[in-house]
């Protein structure tokens, strides 16, 4: 019985399953008619905003402005500094200097609505997290600073019911709402990234072009599914059903790096994720990734990441961009 060939969409699906949001800290924020909330730069992190009630202006570090209305979701995948404002010239206060009341393990509440106002003018849900793309980590460099999804529009089929659910959880504050919102935020962020990839990543090259290449996507899919296999250029070319020389030239031209270097960099990205967020031992990670010894793995890791796997486990390393 024959099987249908893999399509580029299979690779996109495989890569999206590796996307994780770690160390999430959420805030439920309600304001009066005027407000200015500042969010400092957080390299290696992402900011997530969902505006449940009211309107706001998001102003980026470069002065760009995005008008937000109720139902809009914003993902800032590179953690760039920005502000949410009720008006263009309203003074801005850093969110981290505003007193917050704990509402759960990972969520707190901020209320700047004056007591003279019975109903908040704006209610939003905000998160700051480590944005771990797993095998897609290279995409973070080419993602736009601001990714905006209109929860009431037609660009994102299936987003509206999730946004509606988020609004109910944000506004009701029922028991367990923080955990539900965290899961919904994960799903919404994945949808935004998927839409950007499917639309061609704004013309970005490299990995994006390879993901959409019917030949290269076959080898990439096999590699991402089994990164610990003893990969050679011949083996990767066989997955793409083309000759070794054609594959190597095509891979170098499209992705901008040699096939085996890509294999090593992918393994180290996955290793960092497993060491940091799954608390796996260095020995186990080395074995999973096909290294004959812990020493060989450690040398490769330090060469690519710039520090030892032990430093990553101890939390001393900087998060890769």
The confidence score (pLDDT) of residue 153 equals: 66
How far, CA to CA in Å, does 165 sit from each of 28, 170, 236? 15, 9, 44
The confidence score (pLDDT) of residue 236 equals: 95
The confidence score (pLDDT) of residue 317 equals: 41
| Edge-first strand listing for the sheet containing 147-150 | 101-102, 107-111, 20-31, 122-132, 45-53, 72-76, 147-150
How far, CA to CA in Å, does 241 sit from each of 16, 171, 206, 217? 25, 54, 20, 11
How far, CA to CA in Å, does 263 sit from each of 9, 95, 222, 228, 315? 21, 41, 11, 9, 25
How far, CA to CA in Å, does 134 sit from each of 14, 54, 86, 137, 270? 11, 35, 36, 6, 6
> Are β-strands 55-60 and 65-69 bridged in parallel, bridged antiparallel, or unpaired?
antiparallel
Q: What is the pLDDT along the chain (321 residues), one digit of tens a residue?
A: 334 445 555 666 666 666 666 667 788 888 989 999 999 998 878 898 989 889 999 999 888 999 999 888 999 988 899 999 998 778 899 998 998 887 766 778 888 888 777 788 898 888 888 777 666 666 666 778 898 888 666 667 677 788 888 888 777 767 777 778 777 877 888 788 777 777 766 655 566 677 778 888 889 888 888 999 999 999 999 999 999 999 999 999 888 889 999 999 889 988 887 887 777 899 999 999 999 999 999 999 999 989 999 888 776 444 433
- Sequence-distant (6+) residues with CB within 8 A of 307 are 316, 317
Whether 70 contacts 170, CB under 8 Å: no
Q: Could you tell me which residues are beta bridge partners of residue 172?
A: none
Backbone angles phi, psi at 114, to 5 degrees: -60, 150
């Amino acid at each position: 019985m024959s099987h249908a060939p893999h399509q580029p969409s299979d690779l996109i699906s495989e890569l999206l399953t590796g996307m994780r949001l770690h160390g999430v800290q959420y805030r439920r924020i309600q304001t009066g008619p005027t407000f200015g909330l500042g969010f400092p730069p957080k390299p290696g992190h992402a900011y997530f905003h969902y505006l449940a009630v009211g309107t706001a202006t998001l102003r980026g570090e470069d002065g760009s402005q995005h008008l937000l209305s109720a139902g809009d979701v914003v993902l800032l995948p590179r953690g760039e500094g920005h502000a949410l404002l009720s008006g263009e010239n309203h003074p801005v206060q850093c969110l981290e200097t505003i007193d917050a009341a704990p509402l759960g393990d990972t969520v707190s509440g901020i209320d700047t609505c004056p007591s003279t106002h019975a109903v908040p003018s704006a209610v939003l849900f905000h998160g700051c997290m480590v944005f771990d793309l797993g095998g897609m980590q290279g995409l973070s460099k080419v993602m736009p600073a601001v990714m905006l999804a209109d929860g009431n529009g037609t660009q994102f089929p299936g987003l509206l019911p999730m946004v509606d659910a988020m609004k109910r959880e944000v506004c009701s504050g029922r028991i367990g709402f923080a955990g539900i919102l965290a899961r919904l935020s994960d799903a919404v962020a994945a949808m935004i990234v998927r839409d950007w990839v499917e639309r061609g990543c704004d013309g970005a090259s490299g990995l994006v072009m390879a993901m959409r290449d019917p030949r290269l996507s076959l080898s990439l899919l096999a590699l991402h599914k089994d990164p610990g296999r003893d990969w050679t250029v011949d083996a990767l070319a066989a997955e793409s059903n083309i000759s070794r020389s054609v594959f190597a030239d095509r891979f170098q031209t499209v992705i901008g790096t040699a096939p085996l270097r890509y294999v090593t960099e992918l393994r180290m990205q996955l290793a960092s994720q497993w060491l940091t967020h799954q608390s796996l031992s260095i020995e186990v990670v080395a074995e999973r990734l096909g290294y004959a010894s812990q020493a060989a793995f450690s040398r490769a890791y330090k060469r690519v990441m710039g520090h030892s796997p032990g430093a990553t486990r101890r939390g001393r390393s900087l998060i890769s961009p």
